[in-house]
Amino acid sequence: MSKPLILISNDDGITSKGIRVLVETMKRLGDVVVVAPDGPQSGMGHAITIGNTLRLEENEIFGDVSAYECSGTPADCVKIAKHFVLKDRQPHLVVSGINHGANTSISVLYSGTMSAAIEAALEGTPAIGFSLCDYSHEADFDHAVEYVDRIAKTVLEKGMTKGVALNVNIPPRRNESIKGIKICRQANAKWQEDFDQRHDPYGRRYFWMAGNFINHDKGEDNDEWAIANNYVSVVPCQYDLTAHHAISILNDEWDI
Amino acid sequence: MSKPLILISNDDGITSKGIRVLVETMKRLGDVVVVAPDGPQSGMGHAITIGNTLRLEENEIFGDVSAYECSGTPADCVKIAKHFVLKDRQPHLVVSGINHGANTSISVLYSGTMSAAIEAALEGTPAIGFSLCDYSHEADFDHAVEYVDRIAKTVLEKGMTKGVALNVNIPPRRNESIKGIKICRQANAKWQEDFDQRHDPYGRRYFWMAGNFINHDKGEDNDEWAIANNYVSVVPCQYDLTAHHAISILNDEWDI
């Protein structure tokens, strides 16, 4: 059997440490093609480039691995990979990351890492977004490799439920070793913003948005609990945003 | 009883026609505050501004209606509205739009209009994104007013299921009159991209992303069917992306 084709993207940009770790790990599992943003695209959510042009350039940063940097968002990268770079070749797996920072709970909405994975799921390709829950500059990605490898292999082997992409978060390196992998739901938590008002040298005000993460979820079956208890969390995510349970409520309550 | 406080945002920018129609309609229902992007933010999905500053300026474009233009995304606008502009005042309703173009089916993922509504739902506020399914420059918003008014009034009166925001799409003006309002699920359709490769005057290539919308959904209970059949579609959307049905599948099939 020929080797599987694996497409890699991310949102931290093609020169980031996390994507290098992902490339090294995926090279052992298949033929790898990288299409990643040419700079940081954190917090871009599922943005795409409309009304503006895109650049795409080959990049030799990964040696013999075919790689391209794109001026667009992570979702753009997956689209241009599928419809221009790979054309008639279909990837067997799309992986995104490894993000430098957590994408647990509600952060999945804002995450460029996960938008690449969800975009791939939309195209019917099994897809995984990997994130390391460590914001420090010296974040150590080494302990993530074992889990990235194991989860990617499992998805290559078993496939993925239609319409689903996986959101995988990996605890930071601690003294304690990682306890294992938990299939979870997205925790009910949110960011509480704070706007820091300042004035520029011309006297005009501007703001920095800063946020505190607040966890409202008391359950033990969610990704926040898993990370806090030193498990790798795996949340299956879908792009059907319909709140199906609310359809009958609206049909019952509304009289319009 | 005091008048309800209604926050308005959009993704086409504060000077667009659709937000003006929304302001005029909401003024009859409550006290209105506008915080909207200072320029077009279409296709921004749920992007937020990280690692960069935000501007916020008062704008007198709507006369006696308090209005602010913000340099950020629609999600940024709702965040700065809540935590800086309104501070201790809680809006009773957040409305976004009226978007110039459809946000049916999978477009909800890329939609800045809906990201403002979903951001508000996250904050526990009933929220609605309105879109007009007409891309023409001369798009007529007049026939939308009746439905915007009726749906906003209903939500103010009945409230909204927790964790849910409404995605409302309104058919374009046609000879045929609109048949009514349908509560729907998100259609299973997607964009099929095409990348138009060109060269700039310096010989460097660039791309325009163009898309064809492809509807795979044969059902009659979805938003694409509703619009095609001249109904206003209302899809309840949620920000819990967990594919709950896939949790037991993964727990069963995976052995890791």
CATH of the domain at A124: 3.40.1210.10
Give the burial class of A180: count Cβ atoms within 10 A of its Cβ; 0-12 exposed, 13-18 middle, 19 or more buried. Answer: exposed
pLDDT at B239 over 80: yes
Q: Is B5 on the interface with A (CB under 8 A)?
A: no
pLDDT at B1 over 70: no
> Is residue B212 in some structural domain?
no
> Is residue A144 in some structural domain?
yes
Please give the share of chain B, as a percent, with pLDDT higher than 90.
Answer: 87
Contact assessment for residue A107 and residue B47, using Cβ atoms and an 8 Å cutoff: no
**Contact residues, chain B, for A117 at CB < 8 Å:** none
Nearest CA in chain B to A164: B243
Output the pTM of the full model.
Answer: 0.95
| Residue position matching structure tokens 């409309």 | A50
Amino acid in position A53? T
pLDDT at A193 over 70: yes
Contact assessment for residue A83 and residue A35, using Cβ atoms and an 8 Å cutoff: no
pLDDT at A173 over 90: no
Residue B95 CA to residue B125 CA, distance in Å, equals 10
Q: What is the pLDDT of residue A256?
A: 79
Q: What is the pLDDT of residue A185?
A: 98
Q: Is A205 on the interface with B (CB under 8 A)?
A: yes
> Is residue B10 in some structural domain?
yes
**Contact residues, chain B, for A214 at CB < 8 Å:** none
> Is residue A194 in some structural domain?
no
pLDDT at A1 over 70: no
Mean residue pLDDT of chain A comes to 95
User: Region A1-6: what's the mean pLDDT?
Assistant: 88
For residue A48, give how far its alpha carbon lies from the nearest alpha carbon of chain B (Å).
5
For residue A41, give how far its alpha carbon lies from the nearest alpha carbon of chain B (Å).
9
Of residues A208, A190, A207, the one with CA closest to residue B123: A190
Q: Which residues contact B33 (CB under 8 A, 6 or more apart)?
A: B5, B6, B7, B8, B65, B66, B67, B68, B81, B85, B86, B91
- Put simply, the chain A residues between 116 and 145 with a CB less than 8 A from any chain B CB are 118, 122-123
ipTM for the predicted complex = 0.94
Q: What is the pLDDT of residue B114?
A: 97
Cβ–Cβ contacts within 10 Å for residue A80, how many? 22
Structure confidence by residue, pLDDT tens digits, A89-121: 999 999 999 999 999 999 999 999 999 999 999
Q: Do A79 and B250 touch (CB under 8 A)?
A: no
Of residues A1, A251, A11, the one with CA closest to residue A112: A11
Q: Do A183 and B236 touch (CB under 8 A)?
A: no
3-state secondary structure of B4: coil
DSSP string computed for B131-156: EES--STT---GGGHHHHHHHHHHHH
Q: Which residues contact A187 (CB under 8 A, 6 or more apart)?
A: A104, A105, A106, A215, A217, A219, A222, A223, A224, A225
| Residue position matching structure tokens 């350039």 | A57
Q: Is B202 on the interface with A (CB under 8 A)?
A: no
Of residues B157, B166, B136, B141, the one with CA closest to residue B236: B166
**Contact residues, chain B, for A247 at CB < 8 Å:** 183-185, 236
| Residue position matching structure tokens 């006290």 | B31
User: Residue A197, CB half-sphere, CA atoms under 13 Å: how many?
Assistant: 9
Strands B164-170 and B231-238: antiparallel
Nearest CA in chain A to B161: A246
Residue A55 CA to residue A10 CA, distance in Å, equals 17
Q: Is A80 on the interface with B (CB under 8 A)?
A: yes
Q: Which residues contact B48 (CB under 8 A, 6 or more apart)?
A: A43, A45, A110, A209, B72, B73, B75, B76, B79
Q: Is A152 on the interface with B (CB under 8 A)?
A: no
Mean residue pLDDT of chain B comes to 95
Q: What is the pLDDT of residue A32?
A: 98
> Is residue A232 in some structural domain?
yes
Q: What is the pLDDT of residue B9?
A: 98
pLDDT at A175 over 70: no
Contact assessment for residue B98 and residue B178, using Cβ atoms and an 8 Å cutoff: no
- Put simply, the chain A residues between 90 and 119 with a CB less than 8 A from any chain B CB are 106, 108-110, 115, 118
Total structural domains within chain A: 1
pLDDT at B176 over 80: no
Q: Is B56 on the interface with A (CB under 8 A)?
A: yes
Q: Do B56 and A205 touch (CB under 8 A)?
A: yes
Q: Is A53 on the interface with B (CB under 8 A)?
A: yes
More confident residue, A251 or B42: A251
3-state secondary structure of B62: coil
> Is residue B226 in some structural domain?
yes
Residue B43 CA to residue A114 CA, distance in Å, equals 16
> Is residue A203 in some structural domain?
no
DSSP string computed for A135-160: -STT---GGGHHHHHHHHHHHHHH--
> Is residue B213 in some structural domain?
no
Q: Is A156 on the interface with B (CB under 8 A)?
A: no
Q: What residue numbers bound the domain in which A60 lies?
A: 5-187+219-253
**Contact residues, chain B, for A106 at CB < 8 Å:** 122, 239
Task: Identify any residues that bridge with B169 across adjacent strands, giving them in sequence order.
Answer: B131, B233
Residue A197 CA to residue A193 CA, distance in Å, equals 13
